[in-house]
Structure 1
Amino acid sequence: MKIHNKLFLILFSFSFLLITSLVLLMQWSIGQGMIDYVNAKEVKALQPLVSQFAQRYQRDSSWRSFEGDERQFFRLVIQQLVDSQFVPDIPPRKREPHRQRLERSMALDRPVPPEHRLPPGHAADYALLDSHKKVIVGHYKSDLKYTDIPIELNDKVIGYLAVSKRKGLVDGYELDFLEQQTSYLWLIGLIALSCTLLITFLLARNLVGPVKQIAKGMHQLSQGNFEHQLKLKRHDEIGQLSEDYNTLALTLAHNEQVRKRWLANTSHELRTPIAILMGELEAMQLGVRPLSVENIRSANDEAHHLKRLIEDLHLLNSAELGGMHFTMQPLSIAELLLTVKQKYTTIFKNNAIELNITEFSEEITISADNTRLMQLFGNILMNAVHYAQCSKLQIAVTKVTSISQNYVVINIEDNGIGVEDEHLAHLFEYLYRVDDARNRQQGGSGLGLSLCQHIVHAHQGEIAAMRAPLGGLGIMIKLPMEY
């Protein structure tokens, strides 16, 4: 079953059960309230009879005149109820003759005619109880619940008139009212169910429709179509999910381009030195070129270039797989830069490059791997020596303080030929070259800056390339400081 149908079925079933339960509960509540109302109304109708019983007790000083005399007791009850709805078989126009015949029968002490007694289906039973709630006369059944109306004389309870509570309605306008309200309740419930059906359908479609689009987009991604974009104008979690999907698609497309360029560049970089090496060896083997020390040295240079390329590829692969190990320990930036200056002073002097390091008085300490940072600075500085054609190098250190973390920013700048803006964002990609022919001739593998990026990221830092104020290339390294 599709998710749309499941969601619709779940929402509608829940709404159906809820509305049906509410209708049944309201129907029971109204019915129970109406029964309680009828019982209270009957009790109120019998209040005058309670006064008569009190007067009879005052006259006789006891209940002995009622003991065993059910005929007299029920005649008084019928007489009191004859004008009410509780004797429903007597039409209003016949109630007055009925009352007269009843009074005559009582005066002559005759039995009440059958047609003047309580109807066989009458819903209530009546009994007269003494002050200890013992039955004097009437019907008092143990399986029924009774309302005991106290009979008082001189503020003292002398007995009770017990009226059984009805469990349902069999006649009267109350029953008609209850049936009418029941019909209205079911009609309202039917209308509510119809509205719920419509709302549930629209809600299920509104929720599942975007999910279907996202599922379709994911299928496109699985087929390698990274150009597919979702256009969902929503501001909820589904909208956020669609934005994440679009970001994922762009990232996969970018990674696919990088992967293709990586494969192309790798095959090209490996093919070039191998082709040169094989060509030189074949030329010497065929006697086209003499087997001299100079020709062997040329072939050996190509072999060394191929070896460096393979070693750099292995190192990058180790970094990607987490095989490049780092030993973090407190490291002074001042001592690190002093070591760098001492190590590369001779190289800079031979290439007529002036190195300036901005002095800073404050001691700055970071948690870093000294060997890897030396490798980082070595790659950047040697790139400047080999490719920048510069005469001046400058290293500046700045401390940046924020609420969450303190950073040290190291800017390395030169005054060389620089790099065009469109190349800056790609300098740290594998085997990316700004000038392929020149770089290859000078022996670079195109992997040095990629290694620099891995080293900086392993230190939880950032690295970026930019135009330097000196006119050449600038490398910004941002590393977190120890507190």
Structure 2
Amino acid sequence: MKISITTKLFLAVLATAVLAVVAMGAASRWNFERGFVGYLNEQGVERLDAVLPNAIAAYRQHGSWDFLREGPGPWFEIMRPAPSASGERFEPGRTPPPVSDLTGAMLRIGLLDTDRRVIAGFREVRRGSAERAVVVDGKTVGWVVMAPFQNVSEAGDQRFQQNQARASWVIGGLCVLLAAGIAWWIARVLLAPVKRVAGATHRLAAGDYESRVAVSSNDEVGQLARDFNSLAHTLQRNEQMRREFMADVSHELRTPLGVLHGELEAMEDGVRRLDAQAVRSLQHEVGMLNQLVTDLYDLSLADVGALTYRKTDADLRELLGPGIDAFRERLAAAGLRLELALPAQPLMVFADERRLQQLFSNLVLNSCRYTDAGGVLRIAAREEGGVIAIDLMDSAPGVDAALLPRLFERFFRGEGSRNRASGGAGLGLSICRSIVEAHGGTIEAKASPLGGVWVAVRLPRA
């Protein structure tokens, strides 16, 4: 049978309280019996010490214990009086005032002669009894003894013990009821947010990525709810990105394939001749399709950490100079002016030269596609605080500040259009981010002072 966490917690707290009450009751009972019996015996010893002077006075008065054999009256006269505050002593023949004996010690005191035979009083003398010698004129003439309590046997004592036990169990029962109420409150109130998180987790596992939990506190349970909401938001965003990724991949693959299909059908129908221009058109579309597949493959390897890097110490100036010069003609054809600023001293990095060439090529091509004719592309590199800083700034048009952090997302293009004439598939900057992060660096897009986009790359110095 499945038991809920609420029931488990309730039973655990209640069982702990019950065990504590039972243990306290048992300990109180044991302590009461031991302590109370000891108290009674102590009171009895005090009464025994009070009787001893009376017994000495009676013996000195009569000269022997024979007067006690005539009847119990003289013994009661010895037992009943106790020294008063005024210093009164036993006087034979005088009726003493009544003295209360709540401990029952008078009934357990006896008198023994010199042969240790019982003369008067309690006749069951036991081992361990308290005794006091009756000494008259330096001679021991007998003993006054008192049998100790072994347990609570008197009716009054038993009633007192029963009342104490009854009061203890009543208090214990109230404690158990209070513990049950607290356990119910904990189980119902404190665990309610946990149960809500558990229910939301179940819905999230079933695919409901919009599931959220209301945060009602700032404690650990509230932090758990906030963490769950953050996780659900991340999963929802990842699921949305996955769907968008599949749609974008389908679109990007469909476009060149559709062009190729249309070109081939036109050639089959005789609408278009198979000449050099048609072949170049087909090769262009195949090249775009091949580039898209290559980019997707690189990104898939980067996601699983399998993108290969062969890093060596390299001078960044030797990579940037020849690499950027290869794009001068293309930039000039697009009506863009190139400004390259490199320092005289080496800029040493520990990197894969081929991957850095791919990084700078993607960044330059991105500026070439999206910068208006008549603009400028400014590239500068320098050493700054132990890192190598590479800045690429282009002129208008720019990108809205809210969209700048998204430039490195897959298939995202700042112009908000799927028109292929203005750019590629939107994977170039995603690949750039993977390459930079694999080298332990950072890449960031900011507004350019020239009116376009400023891409800031920071790589650790070798």
**How far does residue 365 in structure 1 lie from its aligned partner after superposition?**
6.0
Secondary structure, aligned partner of 1:18:
helix
Aligned counterparts of 2:347 and 2:324: Cα–Cα separation in 1:
22
Partner of 1:187: 170
* 1:213 to 1:436, Cα distance in 2 relative to 1, 3 A: closer
In the alignment, the residues of structure 2 paired with residue 179 and residue 420 of structure 1 have an alpha-carbon distance, to the nearest angstrom, of: 87
- CA drift of 1:19 comes to 1.7
Relative distance call for 1:146 and 1:471 in structure 2 (3 A) is farther
User: Which one-letter code corresponds to 1:10 in the other structure?
Assistant: A
Aligned match of 1:354 = 338
Match of 2:406, SS state, is coil
Alignment CA distance shift 1:47-1:438 (3 Å): closer
Q: Distance in 1 between matches of 2:28 and 2:307?
A: 73
Q: Which residue of structure 2 aligns with residue 214 of structure 1?
A: 197
Deviation at 1:160, TM superposition (A): 8.7
Which residue of the partner structure matches residue 230 of structure 2? Answer: 247
Deviation at 1:227, TM superposition (A): 2.2
Counterpart of 1:430? Answer: 410
Shift of 1:78: 7.1
Count of matched residue pairs: 428
| Of 410, 421, 424, the match for 1:441 | 421
Instruction: Give distance in 2, aligned partners of 1:199 and 1:338.
Output: 75
2:25, 2:172 within 8 Å by CA — same for their partners in 1?
Answer: yes
SS of 2:183's equivalent? Answer: helix
| Pairing 1:383–2:363 present | no
**Matches of 2:327 and 2:377 in 1, distance apart?**
13
* Matching of residue 284 in structure 1 with residue 244 in structure 2: no
CA shift in 2, pair 1:311/1:44, >3 Å:
same
What is aligned with 2:212?
Answer: 229
Q: 1:433–1:439: 8 Å Cα contact kept in structure 2?
A: no
Output aligned runs, 1:246-285, within 5 Å: 246-285=229-268
Q: Does 1:12 align with 2:14?
A: yes
- Calculate the aligned-residue CA RMSD, in Å: 4.2
Change (3 A) 1:171 1:136: closer
Separation of aligned partners in 1, 2:425 and 2:179: 68
Question: Could you tell me which of 300, 320, 329 is aligned with 2:303?
Answer: 320
Unmatched 5+ stretches in structure 2: 83-91, 96-103
Distance, in Å, in 1 between the alignment partners of 2:317 and 2:249 is 34
Aligned-residue offset at 1:374: 3.3
Letter in 2 for 1:44: E
Shift of 1:55: 9.1
Contact 1:427–1:465 (CA under 8 A) maintained in structure 2? yes
Cα contact 2:323–2:361 (8 A) shared by 1 = no
Q: Which amino acid aligns with 2:449?
A: P
Aligned pair in 2 of structure 1 residues 83, 422: CA closer, same or farther (>3 Å)?
same
Q: Distance in 1 between matches of 2:172 and 2:342?
A: 83
Larger deviation: 286-295 or 345-354?
345-354
Contact 1:8 1:201 in 2 (8 A): yes
Deviation at 1:460, TM superposition (A): 4.0
Alignment partner of 1:373 is 2:356: yes
CA contact (8 A) 1:233 1:239 kept: yes
What letter matches 2:31 in structure 1? Answer: S
Q: How big is each residue's C-alpha offset from its partner over 1:172-218, in whole Å with a ceiling of 9 and x where there is no partner?
A: 64444333222222222122222111111111112221111112211
Distance 1:355 1:294 in 2: 35
Aligned to 1:471: 451
Deviation at 1:230, TM superposition (A): 1.5
Who is 1:35 aligned against? 37
**Counterpart in 2 of 1:24?**
26
CA contact (8 A) 1:49 1:76 kept: no
CA contact (8 A) 2:116 2:143 kept: no
TM-score (norm. length: structure 1):
0.75
Q: For the structure 1 residues 207 and 77, does the alpha-carbon distance in structure 2 shift closer, same or farther, using more than 3 Å as the test?
A: farther
Give the Å deviation of 1:146: 5.0
Give the C-alpha shift of residue 481 in structure 1.
5.7
Structure 1 residues 4 and 268, CA gap change in structure 2 (3 angstroms): same
8 A Cα contact 2:446 2:453, kept in partner: yes
**Contact kept in structure 2, 1:464 and 1:476, CA below 8 Å:** yes
Residues 45, 300 of structure 1: alpha-carbon distance in 2 compared, 3 angstrom cutoff: same
1:225–1:176: structure 2 CA closer, same or farther, 3 Å change rule?
A: same
Q: Name the CA distance, whole Å, in 2 between partners of 1:48 and 1:364.
A: 109
Task: Name the amino acid aligned to 1:27.
Answer: R
Instruction: Show CA shifts across 1:125-182 (max 9, x none).
Output: 879799xxx988786656xx55576889999x99997655423212264444333222
- Residue equivalent to 2:101: none
- The 8 Å contact of residues 19 and 192 in structure 1, kept in 2 or not, is answered as yes
TM-aligned CA deviation for residue 49 of structure 1 = 4.5
Map residues 34-433 of structure 1 onto 2, 5 A cutoff: 34-50=36-52, 81-82=79-80, 141=126, 163-171=146-154, 173-327=156-310, 331=313, 335-348=315-328, 351-352=331-332, 353-357=337-341, 359=343, 368-389=351-372, 390-395=375-380, 397=382, 399=384, 409-433=389-413
Q: Secondary structure of 2:214's match?
A: coil
Once the 2 structures are TM-superposed, how far is the Cα of residue 281 of structure 1 from its aligned partner?
1.0
**Which string of whole-angstrom CA distances, capped at 9 and with x for unpartnered residues, describes residues 316-344 of structure 1?**
11111221133455x57xx2144212321
Q: Is the 8 A contact 1:45 1:81 kept in 2?
A: no
Alpha-carbon shift at residue 246 of structure 1 (Å)? 0.8
Q: Secondary structure at the match of 1:231?
A: coil
CA distance in 1, matches of 2:232, 2:412: 23
Mark the CA change 1:18 to 1:152 in structure 2 (over 3 Å): closer, same or farther.
Answer: farther
Given the two structures, how large is their TM-score scaled by the length of structure 2?
0.78
Residue 289 of structure 1, CA deviation? 0.5
Q: Which residue of 1 aligns with 2:99?
A: none
Contact 1:386–1:442, Cα closer than 8 Å, also in 2: yes
